[in-house]
Structure formats: structure tokens, C-alpha cells
């Protein structure tokens, strides 16, 4: 198989094992172990000969955790996952009163080139497979689950990578992670964030998945957006808003707009007014993110006062808006930061 065994659904495993001349009930046993994050050696109720045979040609799991950082302030944990080919990606677990939200990566690096994002500095190295994305969830879930209590209850695809640039694998991952016989994490508890690949958004709408779609908008005019997000040269703001309106019409779920506040770039009250005009009448919510400074690019967040004024103006204009809680700031919480640090200290080209 191309992917690790975790990347296969139960029916797929059943078919595959049958082809190998194995008994059908082995598939359920194997699947159960895989979903617990186990490697072949831990699968004690499987015959050693069977395990040895699998080991020769297959990998069980997609990732392993090689480093964990824990925030003393809020319990946020950041993980560095290693992939079988030596690449690394990162994930962040945020603890809330309602459960644990895991932020996962969908690609090694990213080719979208956003000016403020640490994940894109070296371009895209490769896509993650469905089994690797599920591996991020399975390993962290195994660390934190207790009895019937899930270790991971919510997922946001906001780590490194552009999920809709790895579309087929992401859709398969969503099916796997929500499978009732597997982790059974409801699609309603999963957010997929995109910089706005409109053609893929149109395609995604047709699937009518009850996920939350997040759009990284970050600017209100084509000129301003093109300066910080190369994808804006391909899709105009009006094309993007059309894709959003169509999406809401078809799927019937509200869209979340991410808006990173970058001093001197998109934080004026005129920007707030334009944003309110753009979103008028659309079923949506705005999430304001004070920029995590990227020193390489000389970009920073506005003052507290500036952030508050921007938020207040949106509220006055009737827009549903919240400011994202900053978590794990003491442990390189922002996208791509930990991986970059790892590459730097390993002496590789960051």
C-alpha cells in the first residue's frame, strides 16, 4: 500500500487483507489497534507471523511525536511530528472548557506564499497523505484520552499547508477521522481553513459537508490583498466573496472569516468599514487575529487600542466578531514557528 495502514478505512482494510488470504476478522482487530496509535509490536492479539508479514512491506502509523512543548500559562501543547521520510510537521493542542482542539498540518511547507506566514518561507515540500493527517489526530488522542473520554474533540486544519491545495487527501482524511467505527469525530467539530482557492471551494460546496469553512481574508481590496497574499492575483476579492455566498447558499452553514491584523497594512477604520460592506447580508462570523510577528518580514500586530477600535467598528456595523484568544505564545504557538526552529537548530536550510 502507498499510504500507511492508518490511511485505510475499515472496508478497504477488509478487502486488502482478504486479497492477502487473511481472515476477515483480522481487519477489525488491526483497525482497532491502528486507531489507538499502536505500532505492529503492540498488537498483542494478532499472531506474530501475521505481524511480521505486515512489517515487511507496510508501515502502521503515519507520524510519531519527536518533541512536545507545554505552555505553563494555559496548558497548550505543541508537537513536532516526524514523517517516515524524515520530514517534520507540527500540531497544537488547545485546552478549552468544552474539549480539546487540535490544530493539524496538511502539507510539509506551503506554496501559497502569504507574506506573514512562517509555513511558506521554503515553499511546499510535499502533501501529507490521509494516513499522516489522521496520524496527527490519533497520536495526540491516544496521549490524552481517558476511558471513554476523547483526547481530541475538535480539529482545525490551520497548521502548515493549504488544505484545498491537497484536496483529495484532505477529503479522504475527513471521511476517515469521522468514521463511526474509528475516532468518530463529528464533521461539525472540524474547521477547514483556506486562503481562498475559489474553484476548490465551489467543488467542496457540492459535497455539503457539515464542517466549518474558514476563509483567510486578511484584506478588503484587491490591491491590499495582493500585497500580502499571492493567491489574490488569481482570485479577486469579489470572486472570493461570490464563492463564499454560493457556499453558504448550497451548504447552509456560516463561514468564518479570519482577519489577521497587520499594523499599517489592513487595520484602519476604513478597512473595517469596507469589511462590513463586503460581508453585509452573508451568514458569517469574523475572527480577528492579532498578527504573530514574523521578524523575517518585518510585520507586526497593531496596538491593543488599534485592535479594540477595529473590533468596535465592526460590531457597530452589525458584524458578528470575536478576537482570537492567543494561546501557547510562550511555546512558538504560531503556524510554522516550531518547525522552522527545529530546522534551524538541525542546521538545515530553514
Catalytic residue IDs: 90, 335
Distance between CA atoms of 216 and 56, rounded to whole angstroms? 43
Nearer to ligand SAH, 13 or 92 (CB): 92
117 belongs to the binding site for ligand SAH (CB under 6 A) = yes
For residues 230 and 115, what is the distance between their CA atoms, to the nearest angstrom?
A: 8
Taking the complex as a whole, the smallest distance from the CB of residue 294 to ligand SAH amounts, in Å, to: 5
Rg (CA), the chain: 21
Question: ∠ at Cα 285 (113, 189), nearest 5°?
Answer: 85
By CB under 6 A, the residues from 162 to 191 that bind ligand SAH are 162
Q: How far is the CB of 296 from ligand SAH (least distance, A)?
A: 10
107 binds ligand SAH (CB under 6 A): no
Cβ-based nearer residue to ligand SAH, 38 or 299: 299
We find the least distance from the C-beta atom of residue 171 to ligand SAH, in angstroms, to be 16
CB of residue 299 vs ligand SAH: minimum separation in angstroms? 7
Near ligand SAH by CB under 6 A, which window of 3-11, 91-99, 113-121, 271-279?
113-121
Q: Give me the least distance between CB of 81 and ligand SAH, in Å please.
A: 16
Is residue 211 within the footprint of ligand SAH (CB under 6 A)? no
Query: CA 90 to CA 42: how far, in whole Å?
Result: 25
Among 185, 335, 338, 339, binds ligand SAH (CB under 6 A): 335
Ordered DSSP codes for 325-347 = PP--GGGT-STTHHHHHHHHHTT
Which DSSP string corresponds to 98-142? TEEEEE--SEEE-SS--TT-GGGTT-EEEEPPHHHHHHHHHHHHH
Which span (111-119, 136-144, 237-245, 267-275) binds ligand SAH, by CB under 6 A?
A: 111-119
Distance CA 186, CA 132 (A): 19
Determine if 194 is a binding residue for ligand SAH (CB under 6 A): yes
- Identify the residue whose cell numbers are 488544505: 163
158 contacts ligand SAH (rule: CB under 6 A):
yes
- Output the DSSP codes for 204-252: HHHHT--SEEEEE---SSHHHHHHH-THHHHS-HHHHHHHHHHHHHHH-
Element (H, E) at 264: none
- Contacts (CB under 6 A) with ligand SAH, residues 244-303: 258, 260, 289, 291-292, 294
CB of 268 to ligand SAH, least distance (A): 18
CA dihedral 24, 25, 30, 35 (to 10 degrees): 110
The count of residues interacting with ligand SAH (CB under 6 A) is 18
Q: List interacting residues with ligand SAH (CB under 6 A).
A: 112, 114, 116-117, 158, 162, 193-195, 216, 258, 260, 289, 291-292, 294, 334-335
Amino acid at each position: 500500500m502507498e499510504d500507511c495502514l492508518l490511511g485505510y478505512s475499515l472496508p478497504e482494510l477488509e478487502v486488502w487483507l482478504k486479497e492477502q488470504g487473511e481472515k476477515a476478522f483480522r481487519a477489525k482487530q488491526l483497525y482497532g489497534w491502528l486507531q489507538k496509535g499502536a505500532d505492529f509490536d503492540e498488537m498483542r492479539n494478532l499472531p506474530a507471523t501475521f505481524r511480521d508479514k505486515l512489517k515487511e512491506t507496510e508501515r502502521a502509523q503515519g507520524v510519531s511525536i519527536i518533541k512536545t512543548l507545554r505552555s505553563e500559562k494555559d496548558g497548550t501543547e505543541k508537537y513536532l511530528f516526524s514523517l517516515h521520510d524524515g520530514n517534520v510537521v507540527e500540531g497544537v493542542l488547545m485546552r478549552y472548557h468544552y474539549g480539546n482542539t487540535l490544530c493539524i498540518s496538511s502539507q510539509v511547507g506551503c506554496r501559497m506564499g502569504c507574506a506573514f506566514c512562517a509555513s511558506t518561507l521554503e515553499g511546499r515540500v510535499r502533501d501529507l497523505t490521509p494516513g499522516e493527517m489522521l496520524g496527527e489526530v490519533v497520536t495526540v488522542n491516544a496521549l490524552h484520552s481517558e476511558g471513554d473520554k476523547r483526547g481530541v474533540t475538535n480539529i482545525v486544519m490551520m497548521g502548515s499547508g493549504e488544505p484545498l491545495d491537497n484536496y483529495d487527501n484532505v477529503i479522504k482524511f475527513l471521511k476517515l477521522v469521522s468514521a463511526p467505527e474509528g475516532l468518530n469525530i463529528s464533521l461539525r467539530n472540524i474547521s477547514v481553513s483556506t486562503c481562498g482557492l475559489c474553484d476548490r471551494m465551489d467543488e467542496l460546496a457540492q459535497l455539503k459537508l457539515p464542517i466549518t469553512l474558514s476563509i483567510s481574508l486578511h484584506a478588503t481590496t484587491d490591491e491590499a490583498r495582493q500585497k500580502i497574499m499571492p493567491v489574490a492575483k488569481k482570485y479577486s476579492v469579489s470572486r472570493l466573496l461570490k464563492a463564499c455566498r454560493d457556499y453558504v447558499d448550497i451548504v447552509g452553514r456560516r463561514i468564518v472569516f479570519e482577519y489577521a491584523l497587520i499594523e499599517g497594512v489592513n487595520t484602519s477604520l476604513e478597512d473595517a468599514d469596507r469589511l462590513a460592506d463586503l460581508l453585509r447580508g452573508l451568514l458569517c462570523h469574523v475572527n480577528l487575529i492579532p498578527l504573530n510577528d514574523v521578524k523575517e518580514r518585518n510585520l507586526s500586530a497593531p496596538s491593543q487600542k488599534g485592535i479594540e477600535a477595529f473590533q468596535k467598528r465592526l460590531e457597530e456595523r452589525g458584524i458578528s466578531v470575536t478576537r482570537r484568544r492567543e494561546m501557547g505564545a510562550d511555546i512558538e504557538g504560531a503556524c510554522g514557528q516550531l518547525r522552522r526552529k527545529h530546522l534551524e537548530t538541525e542546521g538545515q536550510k530553514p
